[in-house]
Amino acid sequence: MQSTQTSDEPVVITRGEHGISRKQFSPNAIKVLYRLKDGGYDAYLVGGCIRDILLGQQPKDFDVVTNATPEQVKKLFRNCRLIGRRFRLAHIVFGREIIEVATMRGHHEAQEAKNQISQSSEHGQLLRDNVFGSIEEDAERRDFSINALYYSINDFCIYDYANGLAAIQAKQIELIGDPETRYREDPVRMLRAVRFATKLDMSIAPKSEKPITALASLLDNIPPARLFEEVLKLFLNGKAEANYLMLRQYGLFKSLFPVLDKILDKNPDGLEAAFIQQMFQNTDKRINADKKVTPAFIFAALLWFPLLERTTKIKQQEQLSYFDAFAQAMNKVLSENAQHIAVPKRFTLGARDIWHIQQRLDKRAGQRAYRLTQQPRFKAAYDFLLLRVDAGEQQHSELAQWWTQYLSQDINGQKDMVKNLGHQGGPKPRKRSRRRTTKKPSE
């Protein structure tokens, strides 16, 4: 393998050599390139889209890089909005497709003393990265060599500044520059390394792999909103199981889900580990079959064992009923998680519903079973029960079978099933007595 430093003399891969046809790119991205070119600027397609096409995969999105500043880009496009603080970008909006246009980044060290557009923290983390530069400098600032490939519409060549093509052929994810420094600058690169390794069926190069475990705790310094985005990318891209196993292997999972990580460490072959792995397997199956997956379900599952552990603790310490302890534990577990990962409220509400319904699934007498099925999260909660049984909670397998049968019946069949429950369905709900409206005696 050659060096992971960038070179000012890129390897130029001609149209005949790379074999990519323009048709493989989004027409909107090509439009953006020509508009920038006609405006007198340099512009390239860069990063994931070139890498994915070379690997025979369909790119998720198309990123453009240019020497125009975000303001200059905005002047050229009516459908442009500027976003980001840490990293200022222009988004060109074509209906549902967004072409991201970044301005070439330069070295921050030289600029640091002069101005505030680049800032780093005590851990070496880059807090802002808005120093603009040349294409050579831009290549150096990119994360992995496979992501520093540029496609030009001037000559239809690919410019490879960091031996990215060789890395693609060797199936290696390698950071550009000194791995420790680059992880410190942006610890999220550790998560990206894992995501690309599983997505592209590659391995992380030994030098890039080595510092990860020791630096994993730097993820604590990442804003929780950004971590939420990254976690979603890891778990909703159809490779969740592989990502989960690799995050565990490198000690990164601990920084994301510390309480669950401890539980898994205590009993690596236990029911908990089976449950989490099964959940990710199911998630991947659904994603790959184009079915919907809600983050509410994933977070409900990831925090389920921490929730049960916390409930037991609170119940003992505060002498509360299981139900009350469970409610308190939900608040605690969610607020602790929010310190690392900012899960939006609509998903935490969903997770709460799924957890609540777990408590009520065995109470089926009277109208209760029917009413439960009318709850918006009932289907997710039922799937959650199936997952628990699949992972080894055999004590609930009869209950799960009952619900499966119930859901396959028509209304009369369902009524019969409830009647046949006898005492199993929990106490019959008390009939509400009609309140008598007695007239108050007039004073």
Does residue number 393 form part of the binding site for Mg ion (CB under 5 A)? no
Note if 155 is an active site residue. no
Q: Is 269 a catalytic residue?
A: no
Closest approach of Cβ 405 to Mg ion, in Å? 46
Binder of Mg ion out of 42, 61, 180, 336 (CB under 5 A): 61
CA distances from 314 to 264, 318, 320, 334 (A): 21, 6, 7, 15
**And the tokens for 143?**
């994360």
Q: Does 179 interact with ligand ATP (rule: CB under 6 A)?
A: no
Asked if 143 touches ligand ATP (CB under 6 A), the answer is yes
Is 186 near ligand ATP (CB under 6 A)? Answer: yes
Work out the angle at residue 394's Cα, subtended by the Cα atoms of residues 393 and 399, and round it to the nearest 5 degrees: 100
Contact of 325 with 347, CB cutoff 8 Å? no
In the annotation, is 143 catalytic? Answer: yes
When asked if residue 48 is in the footprint of ligand ATP (CB under 6 A), the reply is yes
86 sits near ligand ATP (criterion: CB under 6 A) = no
From 184, 189, 368, 377, residue interacting with ligand ATP (rule: CB under 6 A): 189
Name the residue nearer to ligand ATP (CB basis): 144 or 406.
Answer: 144
Q: Is the Cβ–Cβ distance between 52 and 58 less than 8 Å?
A: yes
Taking CB under 6 A as the criterion, the residue among 33, 45, 53, 63 binding ligand ATP is: 63
Catalytic residue, candidates 52, 129, 138, 143: 143
Burial string for 7-46 (b: 16+ CB within 10 Å, else e) reads eeebbebeeeebebeeeebbebbbebbeebeeeebbbbbb
* Cβ neighbour number for residue 280 with a 10 Å cutoff: 21
Exactly one of 4, 18, 48, 307 binds Mg ion (CB under 5 A); that residue is 48
In 10 A of CB 291, how many CB atoms?
9
Q: Which of 47, 164, 211, 238 binds ligand ATP (CB under 6 A)?
A: 47
How many residues bind ligand ATP (CB under 6 A)? The answer is: 11
Q: Which two tokens stand for residue 201?
A: 């069926």
- Interface region with ligand ATP, contact rule CB under 6 A, candidates 55-63, 302-310, 313-321, 359-367: 55-63
Question: Where does this chain touch Mg ion (CB under 5 A) — which range of 58-66, 171-179, 227-235, 279-287?
Answer: 58-66
User: What's the one-letter identity of residue 417?
Assistant: M
Q: How many binding residues for Mg ion (CB under 5 A)?
A: 3
Shortest distance, CB of residue 26 to ligand ATP, whole angstroms?
13
From the list 1-9, 25-33, 140-148, 292-300, the region that binds ligand ATP by CB under 6 A is: 140-148
Question: Minimum CB separation from ligand ATP for residue 286, in Å?
Answer: 20
C-alpha dihedral, 215 to 102 to 205 to 126, nearest 10°:
-20
Catalytic residue among 63, 160, 261, 284: 63
Task: Indicate the residue whose CB is closest to ligand ATP.
Answer: 48
CB of 256 to ligand ATP, least distance (A): 17
Q: How far apart are CA 30 and CA 79, in angstroms?
A: 15
Q: What's the closest the beta carbon of residue 173 comes to ligand ATP, in angstroms?
A: 11
| Residues binding Mg ion (CB under 5 A) | 48, 61, 63
Catalytic residues: 61, 63, 143
| Residues binding ligand ATP (CB under 6 A) | 47-48, 60-61, 63, 142-143, 147, 186, 188-189
